[in-house]
Amino acid sequence: MKLGVYIHGSSPFNPKVTFDEYSQLAIFYENAGVETLWFADHLIRTPDPNESPLFETWSLIAGLSTITETIKFGTMVSPVTFRNIGLFAKMISTIDHMSNGRIIVGLGSGWYEKEHEMFDLQYPDLKTRSKLLEDSIEALIQLWTSPNKVNFQSDSFTLKNAYLNPKPIQKPHPPILIGGGGEKITLLQVAKYAQMSNFSGNIETIKHKLTVLKNHCSNIGRNYDEIIPTINMAAVIGKNQGEVEIGVEQYRDRFLQLGMTPPSLSGFADNRLVGTPEQIGEQIDKLKIIGVKEINITINDKTSEKYLPEVIKLYS
């Protein structure tokens, strides 16, 4: 089991505002043994936009990659509606070189209409966006891998004698993660194209999604073991039960401060990691048994951040 950290940089739960703050976090998590640092890719904070600072995600990753050595970086996830496909292919190749092959390209069809309206970005219906996602992945793979010029014609966009030089460092190309658990379209796209998947839910939901993904792989002749299933889970970690209970209350209070409905106490641990490092380890083991290969943990308080390295040591 690999453990990553999901810094939901656009969330008001993690209001980091300076590059130095992100730099300190990246170095802290690298020294702690974290596998991958994941970032949301948004243009404004979500779910309720405000005017507090928010860096462009891939520029931030590029900068952090130059001050670290081993930790990987990925997006959770980059909407294909944001960037011209040629520009994006070139960006990823460049950052793959800057990081010496330490990036993962998380892709999705986009969901937050408000940020598209704000910056005059096209936001078509879901069917069209899903087709754009598939076309984008096919074009990216060709641009990253083909020794020849690429000609690509679709309803989404056209490439004419396009080429990419230099190619990415990672071969055949940087790993692609597709985010989402839609069973008819998204998980089929994972089976066809992705090296990693990501969806959320309680343990029964995750088991079901993994079964659907396995069936898609079987139907198209893809080796399911080539795909790394990942999930994101917030964590409340404490040295003892008292610290854990304080952390849970602080977590719920933060929802109230943001004008949001807090999760109920009765179901709080259904899709979160809650407890001492040893208890968290037991919860992770249950997810490992059902086939999850990487958990990306969201840390929302200093106490949990303090004890996360102890959780990582259990899997080092």
Buried b (16+ CB within 10 A) or exposed e, 69-87: eebbbbbbbbbbbbbebbe
User: Which stretches in the chain have pLDDT values below 50?
Assistant: none
Q: How far apart are CA 26 and CA 203, in angstroms?
A: 29
| pLDDT tens profile 46-84 | 766 667 788 999 999 999 999 999 999 999 999 999 999
- Closest to 309 in 3D by CA, of 22, 26, 28, 9: 28
Buried b (16+ CB within 10 A) or exposed e, 11-32: bbebebeeeeebbebbeebbeb
pLDDT at 47 (0 to 100):
65
pLDDT at 1 (0 to 100):
92
- List alpha helices for 119-240, DSSP H: 126-145, 186-193, 203-220
Which domain CATH number covers 241?
3.20.20.30
- Closest to 308 in 3D by CA, of 15, 17, 35, 13: 35
Please count the structural domains in the chain.
1
pLDDT at 14 (0 to 100):
63
β strands within the chain, DSSP E = 2-7, 36-39, 72-75, 78-79, 103-108, 150-153, 158-162, 176-179, 196-198, 228-237, 273-275, 294-299
What is residue 162's three-state secondary structure? strand
Please, are residues 52 and 22 in contact by the beta-carbon 8 Å criterion? no
C-beta atoms surrounding 302 within 10 Å = 9
Place of tokens 């040591």: 313
| pLDDT tens profile 118-140 | 999 999 999 999 999 999 999 99
The H or E element spanning position 88 is helix 85-98
- What backbone phi and psi angles, to 5 degrees, belong to 236? -120, 110
Q: Tokens in use for 268? A: 């709080």
Our CA dihedral for 130, 169, 61, 284, rounded to 10 degrees, sits at 70
pTM of this structure: 0.95
Please, are residues 63 and 30 in contact by the beta-carbon 8 Å criterion? no
Which residues form the domain of 70?
Answer: 2-313
- Strands 176-179 and 196-198 turn out to be parallel
